[in-house]
């Protein structure tokens, strides 16, 4: 039986694994025509895809309206997001993904599936599935919603 690692090793193992996955995702996104995307952009784009205003985005990300506006401005400059008037209330400004933004999210999903399969090839499908089951059991059902706000503030 291998020696047990100290408890303080666990967060670093998880974080380095996440970083490895996300860095490889972004290398591949860059190769597919999205070299300017950063990890924070992906999280923001996930939240923008749910619709709403900059204030809504800020709440979802756990950041101020000003910080959300700055993120949207960055995504606008890169061609991934746009501000548009609400169809029912012309006074309301909403944020939406452009076709390029939707393409980047779609590609990210495909690439993450590929990376997952590559990892399963490396460690074995049974070990990969077991790890995923264990992480799902240890995490929370609302994990994504909670982590975004936690990372933002």
Every domain of the chain and the residues it spans: 11-152
Please tell me the predicted confidence (pLDDT) of residue 91.
82
**Taking the chain (153 residues) in consecutive chunks of 10 residues, what is each chunk's mean pLDDT?**
82 94 96 95 92 91 91 96 88 93 96 97 97 89 61 47
The alpha carbon of 21 is separated from its chain's Cα centroid by a whole number of angstroms, namely 11
Spell out a b/e string for 63-77, using b for 16 or more CB atoms within 10 Å of the CB, else e: beeebbbebbebbee
Burial bucket for residue 58 (CB in 10 Å: 0-12, 13-18, 19+): buried
Please tell me the predicted confidence (pLDDT) of residue 67.
92
Please tell me the predicted confidence (pLDDT) of residue 152.
47
Helix, strand, or coil (residue 1):
coil
The angle at the Cα of 53, spanning 51 to 57, to the nearest 5 degrees, equals: 75
Please tell me the predicted confidence (pLDDT) of residue 93.
87
Report domain 11-152's class. Answer: mainly alpha
Q: Which residue has the tokens 């100290």?
A: 6
């Amino acid at each position: 039986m291998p020696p047990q690692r100290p408890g303080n090793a666990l967060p670093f193992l998880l974080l380095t694994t996440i970083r490895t996955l996300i860095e490889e995702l972004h290398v591949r996104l860059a190769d597919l025509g999205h070299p300017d995307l950063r990890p924070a952009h992906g999280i923001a784009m996930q939240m923008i895809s749910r619709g709403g205003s900059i204030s809504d985005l800020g709440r979802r990300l756990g950041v101020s309206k000003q910080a959300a506006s700055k993120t949207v401005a960055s995504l606008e400059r890169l061609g991934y997001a746009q501000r548009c008037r609400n169809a029912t209330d012309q006074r309301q400004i909403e944020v939406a993904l452009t076709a390029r933004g939707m393409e980047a999210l779609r590609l990210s999903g495909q690439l993450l599936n590929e990376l997952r399969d590559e990892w399963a090839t490396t460690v074995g499908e049974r070990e990969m599935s077991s790890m995923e089951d264990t992480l799902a059991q240890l995490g929370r059902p609302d994990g994504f919603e909670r982590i975004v706000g936690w990372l933002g503030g």
